[in-house]
Structure 1
Amino acid sequence: MSDPYAKLAELGLKVPEVVPPVAAYVPAVRTGNHVYVSGQLPMAEGKLLATGKVGAEITPEHAKELAARCALNGLAALEWLVGLDKVVKIVKVTGFVASAPGFSGQPGVINGASEVFGEVFGEAGRHARSAVGVGELPLNAPVEVELIAEIAD
């Protein structure tokens, strides 16, 4: 596997500071050789980047960019707990999209997160995935992404 730090630099991306939890949980938990990363909202510098429903106030294209930010925040949680250099495989990604009635493009939105993991980790970033449309997300966020990663000892 390639060096995720070098790949991030090549892509012009930076791992942000870990987003502090907005409720009673921690950003990530390790059990055995897996890290479970809590749902990440599209936050930057302590602020939600957008609010609203995808297919109404938020375009699918913008939502895809927000999902990419959620992925970067997920990487921040991994970095905080174990370090990106310990990631062996991104195993599973679950994406939630606050969807306006009739919006069914959730897979395209969550591709924003999946593409980040693929670009950073290459083949090890390919993962199983669910993309789910929901009525509401915390803080009226348009997207939320959680993940499970396998890590080296």
Structure 2
Amino acid sequence: MTDARLPSRWMADRRFARLAPEHFVSYTWALMYAVESGTDGRLEQGDLEVILRYRGDSTEVLIAAGLFGRDDDGALQILDYPSTQSTAAEVKAADDRRVKERLRKREQRGRRRQPGTTEGDSDATPPAAEPTWDVASIPDVDSWEAAGIDTTTF
């Protein structure tokens, strides 16, 4: 899972402070889209059309604020992206590490469960014994009430 980050320093950044709320919403949704889609902050016109809560009139406002730029192909680039978000390559590398670690742990657990293996046998915890109940030793409600125990709260 990848999350878009909104650094706290943006609270004092005039570029954001001067934005109308609807343009800030457009910016944050575009940022989340770029992170989730692995575009490294590059947004094409087709992307803008599918971003939830993105207003078309925000594009020029965000460019004027210095938050978006245009590349040679006319696509938008979120200018602060490299300094605030993980790149697609970094996200993929982190995901790959998590998968590798998960598989390694699964393999370790599998070795511990195999009979006759020595690795991990000392770490194995024997299963807990099932509790046994002697029904005859459990007092009935009448004897509790006779002893003055309030059974209405049970």
Short-chain TM bin: under 0.3
Choose between structure 1 and 2: higher helix proportion: 2
Q: TM-score, normalised by structure 1?
A: 0.26
* Larger CA Rg, structure 1 vs 2: 2
Q: TM-score, normalized by length of structure 2?
A: 0.26
Structure with greater strand share of residues: 1
